[in-house]
Amino acid sequence: MTDTASNKAKPARRWRKPFAVMRWVLASTVFSSLNWRILFFNLLALFFLVGGILYLNQFREGLIDARVESLLTQGEIIAGAIASSASVETDTMTIDPQKLLELQAGESARPTASDEDLRFPLNPEKVAPILRRLISPTRTRARIFDPDANLILDSRYLYSRGQVLRYDLPAASQDDAESIGDKLGNLMNRFLQPGNLPRYEEAPGGDGSIYPEVIKALDAQRSAVVRVTDKGKLIVSVAVPIQRFRAVLGVLLLSTQAGDIDEIVHAERIAIIRVFGVTALVTMILSFMLSSTIASPLRRLSEAAVRVRRGGPREREEIPDFSARQDEIGHLSTALREMTTALYDRIDAIDSFAADVAHELKNPLTSLRSAVETLPLAKTEESKARLTEIIQHDVRRLDRLISDISDASRLDAELAREDAARFDVEALLTDLVNISRETSKRHKKVQIGFTAHPGNHGKSAFETYGHDLRIGQIVTNLIENARSFVPEKTGRVDVALTRTRAQIIVTVTDNGPGIRPDALERIFERFYTDRPDGEAFGQNSGLGLSISRQIAEAHGGTLMAENVTDAETGAVKGARFTLTLPAATGKAS
């Protein structure tokens, strides 16, 4: 790597490091518990909500608009009162001297009308009392300008004849005694204050031309302007023309006191913050209540799962039961309980299977060991041949046991690994029955019949989902098991296939001796054998029916056994095995 590339990589690492540290801090504190995570996000949403309310500040905008309308109405009233007080000077009249020289004896001169005589001047001494009475109940500053935008009266200073309006002045040490709350309020006010407001300045020498609203009022237009002082205080000013008979006699400028609106807005912000505090407290309580209904059950489930992992197979740990809750926690609890029960059952089955295997292997091994130990002691060739036959028989028996045990042990794995497919049970049984018929010609001759009754379910009546080879293994086991029990010459096995509304039913019926009533369920146990008389010992491992039932249950079906009895005498005429499978729904794709 070059020096330039390494120099570029270093700043990137510096920028990533603070974010990594922040992420680590949040992960180890806020996000370390579900309780704190819920509380953090709830308060964060509330914080952004309140921050947005304070930033948008629609209340202040509405308050300013209302104050502008109020000042304009107030200004119209005051301007009307002032305009009505203006009058023409009636104690003087103007006469043209040239007309006096032209008069004859007995004639008199009439005064001439001029623009100067028809003006309505604003007399400060007459206007001041009116202005004082109208403005004194409010905290509004009033200024009157003449048509040349020169200041005539200011309610803050001199009225007429020495009258002065009083205002409470702030203490000299107000800046020093300003509290932390006031400083924070001013800081918040400056932060939330719009940045495009013009600065307020006092008119130098009473020149009102620096105020745009005054200039507009001299053109007989009302106007309002919002300004901000150096300290961030709002001042709303409105200018109203003083008119009489459409003649603009002057301008009335009304201004709010600096900070009047800010105090109201500040009070509203404090109220919002108080509401925020109460809401945050309620949010915290509700968040902890909510998290307790989520985090506590999850914690209990997690602790129970850890105990299950650490505990032995004989120490069954009970998973907390939240199945009464109709939510994800209840579903998780039910799933964990079922999973744990299935796990314990599987462990018990493995232990039982291992014990059964050990027991079944021990018998041929014991026989084999005895025969091997006795073989050197045999004196005659006949004894040696018989011992050799026993050894070969036990070896074949062990091989058969090991094969069946291997098939049974990998059955679940194969069913879980292989994908289920849709197949026709009728076609499968047709092939299996034909194969069994060919086998019966070479071995024990048995009549094997097959019938199918689809009913009114159409061509796909016998279609199901599953593994056709494993279903075929069940039917083959049932047929071969029936073949071993039926009589030599009159033996018969009937395979029937029927369809109900939602199930496919396969029955294998024989005319053998039947099954003992106490063994109708035991025959499905592992390594259980109840063979007919005359059959050589050790020809069956006792796993065929157990594996068949396991395959049927893995496909969502059942495998049951029953005896066939005579309707009149009640005598047993044979045995019947019934296999039920769920029928496939819908049309084949």
Place of tokens 């296999």: 579
Question: pLDDT at residue 505 above 90?
Answer: yes
pLDDT digit string (tens) for 192-241? 566 677 888 888 888 888 899 989 988 888 889 888 887 778 888 999 99
Domain limits for position 278: 21-54+269-299
Helices 544-554, 381-409: inter-axial angle, 10-degree rounding? 10
Q: So what's the pLDDT on residue 576?
A: 93
Position with higher pLDDT, 377 vs 187: 377
Q: Which two tokens stand for residue 489?
A: 């010459």
Residue where a domain terminates, one of 383, 401, 417 = 417
Q: Can you tell me the distance from the alpha carbon of 264 to that of 398, in angstroms, rounded to the nearest whole number? A: 98
Q: Do both 457 and 413 map to the same domain?
A: no
Question: pLDDT at residue 180 above 70?
Answer: no
Residue 149 is assigned to a structural domain of this protein? no
Q: So what's the pLDDT on residue 537?
A: 45
Residue 496 is assigned to a structural domain of this protein? yes
Position with higher pLDDT, 237 vs 279: 237
Question: pLDDT at residue 430 above 60?
Answer: yes
Residue 249 is assigned to a structural domain of this protein? no
Q: Do both 492 and 567 map to the same domain?
A: yes
Average pLDDT, stretch 348-367?
Answer: 74
Q: Do both 489 and 359 map to the same domain?
A: no
pLDDT digit string (tens) for 34-76? 666 677 777 777 777 776 665 555 556 777 888 888 888 888 8
**pLDDT range class, residue 391, cuts 50, 70, 90:** confident
Residue 350 is assigned to a structural domain of this protein? yes
**pLDDT range class, residue 102, cuts 50, 70, 90:** low
pLDDT digit string (tens) for 484-503? 888 888 889 999 999 988 89
What is the largest distance, in Å, between two alpha-carbon atoms of the chain?
A: 196
Q: So what's the pLDDT on residue 75?
A: 87
**pLDDT range class, residue 578, cuts 50, 70, 90:** very high
Q: So what's the pLDDT on residue 176?
A: 46
Q: Answer whether 514's CB lies under 8 Å from 563's CB.
A: yes
Nearest residue to 222 via CA among 51, 71, 54, 448 = 71
Residue 104 is assigned to a structural domain of this protein? no
Residue 334 is assigned to a structural domain of this protein? yes
Q: Do both 548 and 488 map to the same domain?
A: yes
Question: pLDDT at residue 116 above 60?
Answer: no
Nearest residue to 145 via CA among 66, 237, 226, 70 = 237
Q: Answer whether 561's CB lies under 8 Å from 525's CB.
A: no
Rounded percentage of the chain residues whose pLDDT exceeds 90 = 10
Average pLDDT, stretch 154-167?
Answer: 56
Q: So what's the pLDDT on residue 560?
A: 93
Q: So what's the pLDDT on residue 17?
A: 60
Residue ranges with strand state E in 439-551: 447-453, 463-466, 492-499, 503-510
The most confident of the ranges 199-213, 299-313, 357-371, 393-407 is 199-213
Q: So what's the pLDDT on residue 378?
A: 78
Q: Answer whether 512's CB lies under 8 Å from 574's CB.
A: yes
- Range of lowest pLDDT (156-165, 351-360, 578-587): 156-165
Question: pLDDT at residue 90 above 50?
Answer: no
Q: Can you tell me the distance from the alpha carbon of 512 to that of 491, in angstroms, rounded to the nearest whole number? A: 7
Q: Can you tell me the distance from the alpha carbon of 484 to that of 470, in angstroms, rounded to the nearest whole number? A: 21
Nearest residue to 560 via CA among 550, 551, 547, 549 = 549
Q: So what's the pLDDT on residue 85?
A: 73
Rounded percentage of the chain residues whose pLDDT exceeds 70 = 72
How many structural domains are present in the chain? 3
Q: Do both 575 and 484 map to the same domain?
A: yes
Q: So what's the pLDDT on residue 561?
A: 92
pLDDT digit string (tens) for 527-559? 677 655 555 444 555 677 888 888 888 888 999
Q: Can you tell me the distance from the alpha carbon of 505 to that of 403, in angstroms, rounded to the nearest whole number? A: 29
Residue 453 DSSP SS3: strand
Alpha helices in 104-239 (DSSP H): 124-135, 180-192, 212-218
Question: pLDDT at residue 118 above 60?
Answer: no
Handedness of CA 465, 467, 472, 478 (dihedral sign): negative
pLDDT digit string (tens) for 458-476? 778 899 988 888 898 899 8
Q: So what's the pLDDT on residue 175?
A: 46
Residue where a domain terminates, one of 354, 388, 417 = 417
Residue 183 is assigned to a structural domain of this protein? no
Position with higher pLDDT, 530 vs 146: 146
Of the chain, the end-to-end C-alpha distance in Å amounts to 59
Question: pLDDT at residue 1 above 70?
Answer: no
Position with higher pLDDT, 342 vs 184: 342
Residue 316 is assigned to a structural domain of this protein? yes
Q: Do both 571 and 429 map to the same domain?
A: yes
Question: pLDDT at residue 566 above 60?
Answer: yes
Average model confidence (pLDDT) for the chain? 76
Q: Do both 430 and 545 map to the same domain?
A: yes
Q: So what's the pLDDT on residue 449?
A: 92
Question: pLDDT at residue 437 above 50?
Answer: yes
Burial profile 140-176: b = 16 or more Cβ within 10 angstroms, e = fewer:
bbbbbbbbebebbbbbeeebbeeeebeeeeeeeeeee
Q: What is this structure's pTM?
A: 0.47
**pLDDT range class, residue 173, cuts 50, 70, 90:** very low
Q: So what's the pLDDT on residue 165?
A: 47
Q: Answer whether 465's CB lies under 8 Å from 584's CB.
A: yes
Q: So what's the pLDDT on residue 498?
A: 93
Q: Phi and psi (nearest 5°) for 407?
A: -65, -40
Position with higher pLDDT, 255 vs 413: 255
Q: Do both 436 and 387 map to the same domain?
A: no
Residue where a domain terminates, one of 367, 395, 417 = 417
Which CATH number is 553's domain given?
3.30.565.10
Place of tokens 């004194």: 136
Q: Which two tokens stand for residue 63?
A: 């308050």
Average pLDDT, stretch 280-304?
Answer: 79
Q: Do both 496 and 400 map to the same domain?
A: no
Q: Do both 389 and 530 map to the same domain?
A: no
Q: Do both 516 and 453 map to the same domain?
A: yes
Q: Do both 290 and 334 map to the same domain?
A: no
The most confident of the ranges 288-297, 308-317, 396-405, 447-456 is 447-456
**pLDDT range class, residue 179, cuts 50, 70, 90:** low
